[in-house]
Amino acid sequence: MPSDLFSLKMRASSGSRHISGAEKILEPAAVPAHLQSLLDRAMHHANGEPDFINFKLERLPADSILHLDALPVRSMTADSPEGGLAIMRDLLASLGIVRAAEIVGLLREIRGMRGAVLLDASTLERLEPDRERGVRATMMDAARAGNEPPASPVKDHYAEAVVLAAKVASTPGIAAELCISDDPGYVTGYIASKSLGYVRISPLKEPGSPAGGRIFLYCGARDDIPRTIEFLEKCPVLVHGVRPLGSPHDAPKKEKPLDRVRAALQSLRERDLYRTEEIFESAAASSASLHGKKLLMFASNDYLDLANDSRLKEAAVEAIESFGTGTGGSRLTTGTQTIHKELERELAAFKGTEDAILFATGFAANSGVIPAICSREDMIFSDELNHASIIDGCRLSGAKIAVYRHNDMRDLERKIVEHAPCSGLVVSDGVFSMDGDVVKLPKLLKTAHRHGLFAMIDEAHATGVVGPGGHGVTSLFPELHDTPDLLMGTLSKALGSEGGFVCASHDLVEHLRNKARSYIFSTAPAPASVAAALAALRILKAEPERVERLHDNVRFFLQELRRLGIHAQTESAIVPVVVRESARALAAAKLMREDGVFVSAIRYPSVPDGCARLRMTVMASHTKSELTYTAGSLVRALETIERDK
Ligand code: WAQ
Ligand code: MG
């Protein structure tokens, strides 16, 4: 039977002024030594001489004590308090806390509280019953061997905080804890949660600043607040496995593998290249909901606004009813169902090829197809602005890669001649995803085929968008007799679903089914995705006016921009406005967000360094007044970043 323990609490004050406080949970035999040590601490404190010292000793029955493990500890350093607070904000956001920036802003304002702010994580309401005092976590200590002598009587900020953080992280209803020390000389603070662990961050304030405080982020129900406070104040907790800082275990041996990761993240932050997710509370339709705010969507690739169409949803639900939610295997084992074959047939018919093959995603298609048709002995000629999945496919193939200047068919010809004779592939985006322009298809085909090379065109942003009825880039050149050998496309953009495909001759498709590793070794696309895409394709065929509306909207949007002095161009539904520096793209996107318009700030490596841009996408469902409003918002944002340069 474990024995009962004692809670020992000390609080020293002078008049109404707090000087020092501490608490221990101890074996009976350890009480006298710790009593002495806490007395020393109270009597010789930097905060001054006490005139009142209160000791409280309380028996804790063994079975009332909760035993917890310490959180794993790591440290991050920044160049400045701003940098430290940004790290804290990003870590908080990584937990899915939407208003991370506001919460960190509040933390740096706190001073003079004895306890913590209990903050509602989504509404940011303060929930602590006493706003001046705050909520205090008490009744906790590090577990120690019974005969272990007391530590130095000086406060060990880290050791106390690690214990408190372990208790708070296990408190029902608490999502995370943020802390800045109120000691003017101590600039290290932390963020802690079950999943993050205890992350020390330094610095979080300027040396000498008396600011400091704690926030317990609450995510439970209103009725459960008393339970949370009761646990924090009353439940005795012993924390096991607390390791002193700089113990041999923690000492940086050489560079720890994770240090490199953190340094890489820090470098991204410094270059305005750090990426975070935006967490939407709605479909990515032309009107979307982000952080509780309705926004006009100008960043989605769902060009025909079909992902939220009731007919696609119904088709998906029906497919789930008939075929289940997953396929249980790859296409070559259990994953081919009648709808997979139906979709392949209809895609081939839509693109005018003999056959088609589905992939789990567009990325999987490109990265699987290219290595299936090219190997070490081959040459691949690739446009410099091709999508990352094409680039990765080229690299995976082991073929020699020659990158030609963007859409420059003379450069392509020159590069082929340099390497002739050779076998292999010319590969290009059909619509370039960050620029919106269209491949010079007739020249490309002529050049590739004259030299005996395959031609592959990626129609991810072309399918359902360019050409009459959205038939893609080949339909822009009706006089053309030649066709690409491989027409790749996605189900995830204008078709409102998910997946990739390749349309080609029967022989090529059979070859891909036998050789493309991302096809052979991926579980087949889910029935719901396949059925939704099939429904979208049928809508596309039955309602070509949707595509007409998209074309009309693009024309109108460009015209509105021109009226306001912006000469943007596109041959698709992607309208880029280049602002060069990443920071300017981010600032402009943020300004537009404040206007209620969501656009993407596109930075390196999605585009070449120094070519950062706003990427706006037009949807068939945007109204004329939404297009006019967005053009105006863009102009205002550009003027503002120009002024603030
Ligand atoms: N419960 C809730 N809040 C508290 C408590 C408590 N028991 N004790 C202090 N606070 C609040 C109060 O508002 C203080 O002003 C604020 O937290 C900061 O408290 O790994 O020293 O005791 O090296 O100054 C972090 C250590 C040290 C980082 C934190 O906090 C590291 C520290 P302090
Ligand atoms: Mg303090």
Give per-residue pLDDT as tens, 165-217: 999 999 999 999 999 999 888 999 999 999 999 999 999 999 889 899 999 99
Pocket flag, ligand 1, residue 182 (CB < 6 Å): yes
Atom of ligand 1 nearest to the CA of 112: 15
* Cis, bond preceding 421 (omega within 30 deg of 0): yes
Q: Tell me the longest C-alpha to C-alpha distance in the chain.
A: 98
Q: What pLDDT band is residue 47 in, cutting at 50, 70 and 90? A: confident
Q: Is the pLDDT of residue 248 over 70?
A: no
Q: Which ligand is nearest to the CA of 158?
A: 1
Q: Is the pLDDT of residue 474 over 80?
A: yes
Mean local confidence (pLDDT), 119-130: 95
CB 188 within 8 A of CB 157: yes
**Nearest C-alpha neighbor of 120 from the set 229, 192, 231, 221:** 221
What is the predicted pLDDT for the residue at 594? 96
The structure tokens 């963020």 sit at: 191
pLDDT digits (tens, 9 = 90+) for 299-353: 999 999 999 999 999 999 999 999 999 999 999 999 999 999 999 999 999 999 9
What is the predicted pLDDT for the residue at 255? 62
The residue whose CA has the least distance to atom 29 of ligand 1 is: 181
Pocket flag, ligand 1, residue 213 (CB < 6 Å): yes
Alpha helices in 494-581 (DSSP H): 506-515, 517-520, 527-542, 544-563
Catalytic residue among 167, 387, 461, 471: 461
Mean pLDDT value across the chain: 94
Ligand 2 centroid from CA 338, angstroms: 67
Pocket test for ligand 1, best of 71, 73, 114, 216 (most atoms within 8 A of CB): 114
Q: Which ligand is nearest to the CA of 229?
A: 1
The residue whose CA has the least distance to atom 30 of ligand 1 is: 181
Pocket test for ligand 1, best of 181, 190, 199, 228 (most atoms within 8 A of CB): 181
Q: Is the pLDDT of residue 505 over 50?
A: yes
Pocket flag, ligand 1, residue 200 (CB < 6 Å): yes
Residue 97 CA to residue 170 CA, distance in Å, equals 18
Atom of ligand 1 nearest to the CA of 138: 7
Note if 443 is an active site residue: no
Strands 5-14 and 17-26: antiparallel
What percent of the chain has pLDDT above 70?
98
Pocket flag, ligand 1, residue 198 (CB < 6 Å): no
Mean local confidence (pLDDT), 149-153: 75
Ligand 2 centroid from CA 30, angstroms: 26
Pocket flag, ligand 1, residue 212 (CB < 6 Å): yes
Q: Is the pLDDT of residue 478 over 50?
A: yes
Higher local confidence (pLDDT), 634 or 258: 634
The structure tokens 């893609």 sit at: 472
Pocket flag, ligand 1, residue 113 (CB < 6 Å): yes
Q: What pLDDT band is residue 146 in, cutting at 50, 70 and 90? A: low
The residue whose CA has the least distance to atom 4 of ligand 1 is: 115
pLDDT digits (tens, 9 = 90+) for 408-436: 999 999 999 999 999 999 999 999 999 99
- Here the tokens at position 16 are 């109404």
Catalytic residue among 24, 205, 493, 622: 493
Residue 404 CA to residue 414 CA, distance in Å, equals 9
Residue 431 CA to residue 475 CA, distance in Å, equals 13
Atom of ligand 1 nearest to the CA of 214: 17
Residue 350 has, within 13 A of its CA and on its CB side, a CA count of: 35
Q: Is the pLDDT of residue 518 over 60?
A: yes
Q: Is the pLDDT of residue 586 over 50?
A: yes
145-149, 228-232, 512-516, 534-538: least confident range: 145-149
Pocket flag, ligand 1, residue 262 (CB < 6 Å): no
Q: Is the pLDDT of residue 151 over 90?
A: no
Ligand 1 centroid from CA 190, angstroms: 10
The residue whose CA has the least distance to atom 28 of ligand 1 is: 189
Note if 493 is an active site residue: yes
Ligand 2 centroid from CA 153, angstroms: 15
Pocket flag, ligand 1, residue 21 (CB < 6 Å): no
Residues 6 or more apart in contact with residue 228 via CB below 8 angstroms: 118, 171, 172, 173, 174, 218, 220
Q: Which ligand is nearest to the CA of 233?
A: 1
The residue whose CA has the least distance to atom 21 of ligand 1 is: 181
Note if 64 is an active site residue: no
Written as one letter, the residue type at 623 is T
What is the predicted pLDDT for the residue at 1? 61
Alpha helices in 324-436 (DSSP H): 338-351, 362-373, 388-397, 409-419
The residue whose CA has the least distance to atom 23 of ligand 1 is: 158
Catalytic residue among 20, 181, 202, 433: 433
Fill in the DSSP letter of residue 464: T
The residue whose CA has the least distance to atom 15 of ligand 1 is: 213
The residue whose CA has the least distance to atom 5 of ligand 1 is: 115
Q: Which ligand is nearest to the CA of 178?
A: 1
Atom of ligand 1 nearest to the CA of 200: 20
Pocket flag, ligand 1, residue 158 (CB < 6 Å): yes
The structure tokens 């000629």 sit at: 381
Higher local confidence (pLDDT), 106 or 257: 106
Q: Which ligand is nearest to the CA of 159?
A: 1
Q: Which ligand is nearest to the CA of 157?
A: 1
What is the predicted pLDDT for the residue at 144? 85
Ligand 2 centroid from CA 181, angstroms: 5
The residue whose CA has the least distance to atom 20 of ligand 1 is: 158
Q: What pLDDT band is residue 252 in, cutting at 50, 70 and 90? A: very low
Residues 6 or more apart in contact with residue 547 via CB below 8 angstroms: 304, 464, 465, 468, 469, 470, 540, 620
Burial tier of 594 (Cβ tally within 10 Å: 0-12, 13-18, 19+): exposed
Q: Is the pLDDT of residue 629 over 60?
A: yes
Pocket test for ligand 1, best of 117, 157, 231 (most atoms within 8 A of CB): 157
